């Protein structure tokens, strides 16, 4: 309130000072933990640190981190979206069916998937922003409806004989440049753009303001409802793109388990990345690192030879450790 | 003269209440329907039964819609309503209270119960007690994280959802725990005839009497007849005010998560009986048990922000969901039916929550 609006040169240093550092402590810790895990896994299972093992890891990180970007936007506004699993299923099955039945070219198929995802995101956003209903409840409801629609399209069987249109996002040779999977490269670009948007544009800062205190943000002139709608729409569009990655990473058959449980995997990645579920604080780089950490543990556990189901125990522990240390730090800051 | 005095009497007797009394029956019925969730649910159940009876009479159903069918459908109401009651208590306690881990706790305690009762040869009572204790401990972990360390409940229970689900699968080596004793335990899930008046009533699943009704009674007594219940409503309505009025917030908030774990332990025993084996994914396969339980709670009029919710709402919303699902299966047999159940659940949930928002704006309460 005390910032002088007319004195632009005077306001500038203030604006720069209130921004958090480009990379926060939580992100450095995550990088450290991931590096440590990779070194340890490299020592115990020599096969881990080879391109043949890292590449599939990056391919499976891509869709989770990509949706995680949108989910970070939503959670920064103090919302949540548990319908992404159902939305992935619907986008994937509609796109896969169109590839099989209509032999759609690649750009059209991507547009179809993103467009459908955007529509689903808009539905969530309209209900949440203008229906003034708690986000978790609405998205539980839409999750069921998306699943219903997807199952109707599936028609009680799998989609078979999907052509290789999406190989450019796949695990094979066609899916990488300089040895890095395209899906992961796209995800990194999206993360970079989102990072810049959240940090350096008024639209991005508005999201933080809404999450901090929606009422105060409204009184300060933030268009709260359109911004919230935008966050859900973005997530929907990214779900559409991620659905293409899921189709590409699989075989030529798409079964009804696609997308199942992914909403919790995405939320886990976001939370491990240091985004506060209460809103007003978060980072997309953290989300990318969180997704990498979860996937490292998942593939590491199986490569060591432990039961694969044990991976989820570690995911749970990581969530507790990541959020717990953050809580303790906040408490220490408050006490000092 | 007499006519005018008759007209004047009520007006002079209670002038202040006049505007309220002049409201039509319709307007008052509408307010009851919108503000009293129990009334709305009861009306919906009656409408459902009438619609289905008409469809049945017209011969459009694949089976006959009668009291026997409705009673047999109640078997799936047992776990749903019990977990709905668990969510009721957790959500009531406020501060974003929610328990995503109930399904995983059901899986984990079910496996433990299966080992104790089926393989280690424990008596039913001892194994049941073990399930309750293990469930309570799982819930206590949630409770400590939320109440004492300050985790947002969504995050704490998301983490334990992963952890317990993983433990259940690892402990059991991903195989259902099975033995002749457990297969015989299936008799605990069968339908029975009530004594005395039972001859004229349909057969009712045994779990209703052995598990569901005791849980309903205990939760109702806890919420309505004890100081703990009153404190819970205070806590959920305004955490700060509750603290300043001398309520020891932390143990009270922790208690609801323990209660949720205990109920999950009981549900685990019910599901072992229903499946005749202790499946390590009993509470987590498909959509799991947590989401339907939260749906039941919200549909039953529990405010997600805490402090508002009744046991009767949970019971009626469970009946509605279970009977809607059973009716859909009659109208659309097979795969179509199970798919349309998803649509019904989603639509009902969105409709109910939009209605919550509307009544809040129109009448200032749910």
For chain B, report the end-to-end CA distance as a whole number of angstroms.
47
What local confidence, expressed as pLDDT, does residue B290 receive? 85
What's the CA angle centered on B112, arms B314 and B292, to 5 degrees?
A: 25
CB spacing of A323 vs B154 below 8 angstroms: no
Work out whether strand B204-205 and strand A176-177 pair parallel, antiparallel, or are unpaired: unpaired
Confidence of residue B15 (pLDDT cuts 50, 70, 90): very low
Which residue in A142, A145, A312 is closest to B166 by CB distance?
A312
A315 lies in some domain: no
Burial grade of A10 (CB within 10 A; 0-12, 13-18, 19 or more): exposed
Instruction: Mutate one of A93, A320, A321, A326 to test the B interface: name it (highest B CB count within 10 A).
Output: A320
What local confidence, expressed as pLDDT, does residue A327 receive? 84
Q: HSE, CB side, 13 Å, CA atoms: give it for residue B236.
A: 27
Instruction: Mutate one of B346, B360, B366 to test the A interface: name it (highest A CB count within 10 A).
Output: B346
CA B268 to chain CA centroid, Å, is 15
Interface pTM (ipTM) of the complex? 0.81
What local confidence, expressed as pLDDT, does residue A2 receive? 44
Report, as an integer, the average pLDDT of B136-153: 94
A6 lies in some domain: no
- Provide the percentage of residues in chain B whose pLDDT is more than 70: 88
| Residues β-bridged to residue A254 | A159
What is the count of structural domains for chain A?
A: 1
Nearest CA in chain A to B153: A277
| Residues β-bridged to residue A218 | none
CB spacing of A277 vs B291 below 8 angstroms: no
> Residue A250: left if φ>0, alpha if ψ -120 to 50, beta else—which one?
beta
Q: Please provide the size of chain B in residues.
A: 366
Nearest CA in chain B to A258: B286
pLDDT at B19 over 60: no
A151 lies in some domain: yes
CB within 8 Å of B366: residues ≥ 6 apart: B35, B37, B301, B303, B308, B356, B359, B360
CB spacing of A151 vs B339 below 8 angstroms: yes
B22 lies in some domain: no
Instruction: Mutate one of B279, B339, B351 to test the A interface: name it (highest A CB count within 10 A).
Output: B339
Which residue in A131, A136, A316 is closest to B159 by CB distance?
A316
CB spacing of B149 vs A313 below 8 angstroms: no
What local confidence, expressed as pLDDT, does residue B1 receive? 38
CB spacing of B163 vs A138 below 8 angstroms: no
A328 lies in some domain: no
Which residue in B162, B166, B342 is closest to A147 by CB distance?
B342
Work out whether strand A176-177 and strand A180-181 pair parallel, antiparallel, or are unpaired: antiparallel
The residue with tokens 């997530």 is A235
| CA atoms of B250 and A59, how far apart (whole Å) | 44
| CA atoms of A25 and B249, how far apart (whole Å) | 32
CB spacing of B353 vs A141 below 8 angstroms: yes
pLDDT mean for each 10 residues of chain A (336 residues): 45 56 78 88 82 84 94 92 92 90 86 95 92 83 90 83 77 75 91 91 88 87 90 95 88 81 87 86 91 89 83 88 83 78
- Summary mean pLDDT of chain B: 83
CB spacing of A277 vs B152 below 8 angstroms: yes
CB spacing of A268 vs B158 below 8 angstroms: yes
Nearest-CA distance A317 → chain B (Å): 7
For the residues of A151-171, what is the DSSP string, one character each?
HHHHTSS-B----GGGGGGSS
What local confidence, expressed as pLDDT, does residue A133 receive? 79
CB spacing of B149 vs A267 below 8 angstroms: no
B15 lies in some domain: no
Least confident of A82-86, B12-16, B143-147, B155-159: B12-16
Report, as an integer, the average pLDDT of B267-291: 83
CB spacing of A324 vs B154 below 8 angstroms: no
What local confidence, expressed as pLDDT, does residue A18 receive? 65
Nearest-CA distance B315 → chain A (Å): 19
What local confidence, expressed as pLDDT, does residue B57 receive? 84
Structure tokens at B258: 């323990």
What local confidence, expressed as pLDDT, does residue B6 receive? 41
Going from the C-alpha of A143 to that of each of A43, B83, B188, B329, the distances in angstroms are: 42, 20, 34, 21
- Cα diameter, chain B: 91
B47 lies in some domain: no
What local confidence, expressed as pLDDT, does residue B286 receive? 65
- Domain containing B345 equals 66-190+198-363
What local confidence, expressed as pLDDT, does residue B193 receive? 62
Nearest-CA distance B283 → chain A (Å): 14
What local confidence, expressed as pLDDT, does residue B20 receive? 52
B37 lies in some domain: no
What does the CA dihedral A295, A299, A302, A308 come to, rounded to 10 degrees?
30
For the residues of B171-203, what is the DSSP string, one character each?
HTTTS-B--HHHHHGGGGGSEEPPTTTGGGS--
| CA atoms of B73 and B322, how far apart (whole Å) | 7
B58 lies in some domain: no
Going from the C-alpha of B16 to that of each of B7, B13, B19, B32, B191, the distances in angstroms are: 16, 9, 7, 22, 56
What local confidence, expressed as pLDDT, does residue B173 receive? 84
- DSSP three-state, residue A254: strand
Confidence of residue B130 (pLDDT cuts 50, 70, 90): very high
Question: Which residues in chain A touch residue B143, judged by CB atoms under 8 angstroms apart?
Answer: none
Closest residue by Cα to residue A208 from A130, A283, A134, A135: A283
For chain A, report the end-to-end CA distance as a whole number of angstroms.
25
Which residue in B145, B158, B294 is closest to A140 by CB distance?
B294
User: What pLDDT digit, counting tens, does each position of B88-115 carry?
Assistant: 999 999 888 999 899 999 999 999 999 9
CA B74 to chain CA centroid, Å, is 13
| CA atoms of B109 and B60, how far apart (whole Å) | 43
B59 lies in some domain: no
B13 lies in some domain: no
| CA atoms of B117 and B121, how far apart (whole Å) | 5
How many Cβ atoms from other residues are within 10 Å of residue B233's Cβ? 18
Report, as an integer, the average pLDDT of B170-195: 76
What is the count of structural domains for chain B?
A: 1
Question: Which residues in chain A touch residue B99, judged by CB atoms under 8 angstroms apart?
Answer: none
What's the CA angle centered on A222, arms A216 and A228, to 5 degrees?
A: 100
CB spacing of A307 vs B145 below 8 angstroms: no
What local confidence, expressed as pLDDT, does residue B181 receive? 79
For the residues of A62-103, what is the DSSP string, one character each?
HHHHHHHHHHHHHHHTT-----HHHHHHHHHHHHHHHHHHH-
What local confidence, expressed as pLDDT, does residue A10 receive? 46
Question: Which residues in chain B touch residue A133, judged by CB atoms under 8 angstroms apart?
Answer: 350, 353-354, 356-357
Nearest CA in chain B to A153: B339
Instruction: Mutate one of A126, A138, A144 to test the B interface: name it (highest B CB count within 10 A).
Output: A144
pLDDT at B133 over 60: yes
Question: Which residues in chain B touch residue A319, judged by CB atoms under 8 angstroms apart?
Answer: 155, 158-159, 162
Confidence of residue B287 (pLDDT cuts 50, 70, 90): low
- Domain containing A214 equals 55-260
Name the strand (E) or helix (H) holding A61: helix A51-76
Closest residue by Cα to residue B165 from B211, B214, B101, B219: B101
Question: Which residues in chain B touch residue A145, judged by CB atoms under 8 angstroms apart?
Answer: 342-343, 346-347, 350
A282 lies in some domain: no
pTM for this model (two decimals)? 0.84
Confidence of residue B21 (pLDDT cuts 50, 70, 90): low
Helices (H), B245-334: 249-275, 290-299, 311-331
Nearest CA in chain A to B101: A316
Backbone φ, ψ for residue B365 (5° rounding): 165, 170
A174 lies in some domain: yes
B245 lies in some domain: yes
CB spacing of A151 vs B160 below 8 angstroms: no
């Amino acid at each position: 309130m005390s910032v002088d609006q007319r004195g632009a040169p005077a306001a500038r240093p203030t604006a720069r000072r209130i921004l958090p550092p480009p990379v926060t402590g939580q992100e450095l810790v995550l990088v450290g933990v991931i590096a440590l895990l990779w070194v340890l896994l490299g020592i115990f299972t020599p096969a881990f640190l080879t391109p043949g093992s890292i590449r599939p890891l990056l391919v499976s990180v891509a869709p989770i981190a990509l949706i995680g970007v949108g989910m970070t936007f939503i959670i920064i506004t103090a919302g949540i979206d548990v319908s992404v699993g159902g939305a992935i299923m619907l986008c994937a099955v509609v796109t896969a069916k169109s590839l099989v039945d209509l032999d759609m070219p690649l750009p059209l198929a991507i547009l179809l998937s993103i467009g459908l995802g955007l529509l689903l995101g808009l539905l969530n956003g309209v209900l949440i922003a203008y229906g003034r209903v708690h986000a978790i409840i609405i998205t539980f409801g839409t999750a069921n409806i998306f699943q219903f629609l997807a199952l109707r399209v599936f028609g009680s069987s799998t989609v078979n004989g999907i052509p290789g249109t999406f190989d450019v996002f796949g695990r094979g040779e066609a899916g990488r440049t300089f040895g890095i999977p395209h899906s992961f490269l796209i995800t990194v670009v999206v993360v970079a753009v989102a990072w810049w948007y959240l940090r350096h544009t008024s639209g991005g800062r508005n999201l933080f303001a809404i999450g901090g205190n929606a009422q105060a943000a409204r009184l300060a002139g933030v268009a709260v409802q359109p911004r919230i709608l935008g966050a859900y729409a973005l997530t929907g569009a990214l779900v559409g793109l991620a659905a293409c990655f899921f189709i590409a990473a699989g075989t030529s058959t798409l079964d009804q388990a696609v997308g199942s449980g992914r909403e919790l995997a995405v939320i886990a990645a976001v939370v491990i990345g240091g985004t506060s579920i209460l809103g007003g604080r978060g980072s997309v780089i953290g989300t990318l690192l969180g997704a990498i950490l979860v996937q490292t543990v998942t593939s590491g556990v199986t490569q060591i030879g432990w039961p694969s189901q044990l991976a989820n125990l570690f995911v749970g522990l990581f969530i507790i450790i990541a959020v717990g240390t953050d809580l303790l730090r906040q408490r220490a800051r408050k006490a000092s | 003269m007499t006519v005018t005095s008759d007209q004047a009497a009520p007006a002079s007797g209670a002038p202040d209440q006049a505007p309220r009394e002049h409201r039509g029956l319709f307007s008052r019925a509408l307010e009851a329907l919108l503000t009293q969730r129990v009334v709305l649910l009861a009306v919906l159940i009656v409408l459902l039964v009438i619609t289905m009876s008409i469809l049945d009479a017209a011969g459009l159903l694949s089976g006959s819609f009668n009291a026997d069918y409705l009673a047999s459908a109640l078997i799936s109401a047992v776990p749903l309503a019990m977990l709905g009651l668990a969510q009721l208590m957790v959500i009531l306690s406020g501060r974003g209270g929610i328990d995503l881990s109930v399904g995983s706790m059901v899986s984990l305690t079910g496996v433990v119960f299966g080992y104790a009762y089926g393989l280690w040869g424990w008596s039913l009572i001892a194994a049941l007690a073990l399930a309750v204790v293990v469930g309570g401990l799982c819930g206590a972990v949630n409770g400590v994280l939320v109440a004492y360390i300050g985790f947002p409940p969504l995050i704490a229970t998301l983490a334990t959802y992963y952890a317990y689900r993983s433990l259940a699968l690892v402990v059991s080596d991903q195989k259902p725990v099975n033995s002749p004793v457990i297969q015989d335990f299936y008799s605990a899930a069968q339908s029975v005839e009530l004594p005395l008046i039972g001859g004229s009533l349909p057969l009712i699943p045994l779990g209703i009497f052995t598990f569901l009704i005791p849980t309903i009674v205990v939760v109702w007594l806890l919420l309505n007849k004890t100081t703990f219940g009153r404190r819970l409503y205070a806590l959920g309505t305004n955490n700060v005010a509750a603290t300043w009025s001398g309520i020891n917030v932390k143990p009270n908030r922790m208690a609801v998560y323990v209660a949720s774990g205990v109920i999950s332990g009981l549900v685990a025993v019910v599901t072992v009986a229903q499946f005749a084996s202790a499946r390590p994914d009993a509470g987590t396969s498909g959509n799991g048990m947590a989401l339907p339980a939260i749906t039941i709670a919200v549909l039953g009029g529990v405010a997600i922000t805490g402090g508002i919710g009744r046991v009767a709402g949970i019971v009626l919303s469970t009946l509605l969901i279970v009977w809607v699902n059973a009716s859909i299966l009659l109208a659309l047999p097979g795969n179509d039916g199970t798919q349309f159940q998803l649509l019904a659940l989603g639509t009902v949930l969105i409709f109910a929550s939009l209605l919550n928002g509307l009544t809040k704006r129109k009448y200032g309460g749910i």
